[in-house]
Amino acid sequence: QRKNPFSSEDRLASKPAHTHRGDPTYGRPPEGSRTEQRGRDAHSHVGKEVEELCLVIRRTGQVGEDGRVSVTFGQLFETYVTISNKVVGILLRARKHGLVHFEGEMLWQGKDDGVVITLL
């Protein structure tokens, strides 16, 4: 089963036969592979979307007494949805990286329009 039956080449599959959790390559594509490059490209693209989201928050939000820019989810959704339909996923990624703060696990259009999103 180590040979790829769908390939015209007689080469071994690119995946190592056995990897273990302690192995530094565990769960990662082979170095130099197209899969690794696609992953890098995707990571870069998402990073650019997070930066753009922060710029939109800065541009549309209002500066509070603490000097931080805040915007409601409803206002941000209306502004940002024309740029990207992945606004909630990008917000979650931005929060994961400590760039924004908002209450709750997930934001829903309509239900959470009043939730305040603060740029950190």
Q: What percent of the chain has pLDDT over 90?
A: 55
Sketch out the chain's domains with CATH numbers.
Answer: 34-119 (1.10.10.1540)
pLDDT at residue 95, as a whole number: 95
pLDDT exceeds 60 at position 64? yes
Mean pLDDT over 70-82 rounds to: 88
Rounded CA separation 57/15 (Å): 43
Mean pLDDT over 40-60 rounds to: 93
pLDDT exceeds 80 at position 92? yes
Rounded CA separation 56/51 (Å): 9
How far the first Cα of the chain sits from its last, in Å, is: 51
Rounded CA separation 96/35 (Å): 24
Q: Residue 22's pLDDT band (boundaries 50, 70, 90)?
A: confident
Q: Which two tokens stand for residue 67?
A: 């000097």
